[in-house]
Structure 1
Amino acid sequence: MSNKKFIYIIVEGDSDESYVYAIIDELMELNNIDIMVVRGDLFTQNCKIKNTIGNFVKTKILDIYNLEEEDISMIIQVTDIDGVYIEEDCILIDSEVERIEYNSQGIKVCDENKKAEIASRNKRKVSNLNPMINTKVMKIDYYLLYNSCNLEHLIFNEANLEADKKVDSIDKHILSKTRQELLDELEPFCLYEGEDIAEQYRNSWTTIKSERQCIPRATNLPLIIDLILSKT
């Protein structure tokens, strides 16, 4: 068992890792913080999500780093919303779309089969997201943060950026900004209020879940700062 307490941050991809690291780098120097890249979306899986995340923590963190649950003070996971809370009638068929396209009004898909697939994905992801908003993983405090529709949607207003361009675009953007500028650019998309971190966190999820007719540029990622500081 370690004498130190650790904070682990789980992200979906390399661009998320780069951006999160850039906004918390000063805190990482003062705290035992590590960022884990899952390389995929755990919330779209057909699974018992709490067990899936718990298994990830056990196999990728506890077992590898020889830690016990009590060695970890908090887990923060960052996910893309991907428009999953919209009504099914906001998934529109457009034969000119190659497969799937996100926009502020909803999701465009190429045909009926793809619409059914995305509608099913949305229901599955919602059923996995919702129970993880207010819970623990094993005995560890857990918080779920989001970007809508995704990180590139927030930063560049481009929800459909090709995968091979995401990391390079985000890395170049990070190099052009200070840490405070990165946080400031997220502020207009924090569509929630609250007197304390707990209320802000709850309200951030109430807000994004209520967006049923559009896909807003929205995030609660800046809460990561106060969440980390709450454990120091």
Structure 2
Amino acid sequence: MAKKKVILFIVEGPTDETSLSTVLNRIFSSSTVKFQVVHGDILTRDFTSTSKIITAVWDLVKGFMGNIYHKNDICRIVHLTDTDGVFVPDKAIIEDKTIRNNAHPYYTETQIRTPKPDSIRERNRRKRNNMGKLQSCRHIAGIPYSMYYFSLNLEHVLHGKTNLSDWDKVHCAEAFDLKYGDDPNGFIIFMQKSSFSVCNDYCASWDFIKVGLNSLNRFSNFGIELPAVSQTR
């Protein structure tokens, strides 16, 4: 029997893998689904410049491969990212010194509240540029590549909740896996037919999230990556 090819999902945190691993392995059963957890955001890490972002993603893939996999073992790279409200106008970034956690701004449907607005504006600029570079990238080192968004983050899309603690994220991830891990059809319907689903076209979905305050609100284009329900076993 031929060895299954790997679909590699690049995600920001371990709860992304907890939420999605079981159901995606069922949906893409003809391949082996693996995750590379960044433990952060590669689009803003170490002030990665737009000229180096594709190399940075490839370094993540090479880190996953190690001495176990070869490039030919990977049939697809799927990159899942949070929007973090990066496409909102600067006037929507509000200084708020009552926010105690300087590392994490507080998000609403209309504002990003933070004690360090200049830092968030710079983060948004950098991440916007890197997103623009990657969304137009179709291959990395010859491997098919695509990037999809969950705004503001995975929990926002999957649960309709924002500004969660790490503990709450773990609880939500485990609950989601219990709900959809053995229900791939239900998961596909959820991602493709919900009010947050932006699944008409890949390029159009990215145009949409860049408009106004959309990147602060509950939207995802990940349903585009998933097969039609009738194709799922």
Flag whether TM exceeds 0.5 (same fold).
yes
Aligned-pair CA distance for 1:192: 4.4
Q: Secondary structure at the match of 1:23?
A: helix
Aligned-pair CA distance for 1:85: 0.7
Q: Sequence identity of aligned pairs in percent?
A: 27
Change in 2 beyond 3 A, CA 1:157/1:66? closer
1:156-195 to structure 2, matched below 5 A, reads 156-177=159-180, 178-186=183-191, 187-193=194-200
Which residues of structure 1 form unaligned runs of 5+?
194-199
Residues 171-223 of structure 1 deviation map (CA, whole Å, 9 limit, x = unaligned): 12331343333333332211342xxxxxx111111111123476110001222
Residues 136-189 of structure 1 deviation map (CA, whole Å, 9 limit, x = unaligned): 211111000110001111233222001232012221233134333333333221
Compute the TM-score of the two structures, normalised by the length of structure 1.
0.84
Change in 2 beyond 3 A, CA 1:214/1:222? closer
Question: What is the aligned residue count?
Answer: 216
Inter-partner Cα distance in structure 2 for 1:162 and 1:169: 11
Q: Give the equivalent residue in structure 2 for 1:196.
A: none
Query: Is structure 2 residue 64 aligned with structure 1 residue 60?
Result: yes
Q: Secondary structure at the match of 2:203?
A: helix
Q: Secondary structure at the match of 2:210?
A: helix
Residues 82-118 of structure 1 deviation map (CA, whole Å, 9 limit, x = unaligned): 10111111001233332420110020113xxx10111
Contact persistence 2:9–2:34 (CA under 8 A): yes
Inter-partner Cα distance in structure 1 for 2:69 and 2:26: 26
Aligned-pair CA distance for 1:78: 0.5
Query: Is structure 2 residue 1 aligned with structure 1 residue 14?
Result: no
Inter-partner Cα distance in structure 1 for 2:125 and 2:111: 15
Change in 2 beyond 3 A, CA 1:159/1:3? same
The one-letter code matched in structure 2 to 1:86 is: V
Contact persistence 2:155–2:161 (CA under 8 A): yes
Compute the TM-score of the two structures, normalised by the length of structure 2.
0.83
Please point out which of 109, 114, 122 is paired with 2:114: 109
Aligned-pair CA distance for 1:12: 1.1
1:45-56 to structure 2, matched below 5 A, reads 45=45, 46-47=47-48, 48-56=52-60
Q: Give the equivalent residue in structure 2 for 1:85.
A: 87
Change in 2 beyond 3 A, CA 1:121/1:167? same
Inter-partner Cα distance in structure 1 for 2:220 and 2:166: 20
Change in 2 beyond 3 A, CA 1:42/1:27? same
The range that moved more, 23-32 or 76-85, is 23-32
Which residues of structure 2 form unaligned runs of 5+?
none
Q: RMSD of the TM alignment (CA)? A: 2.3
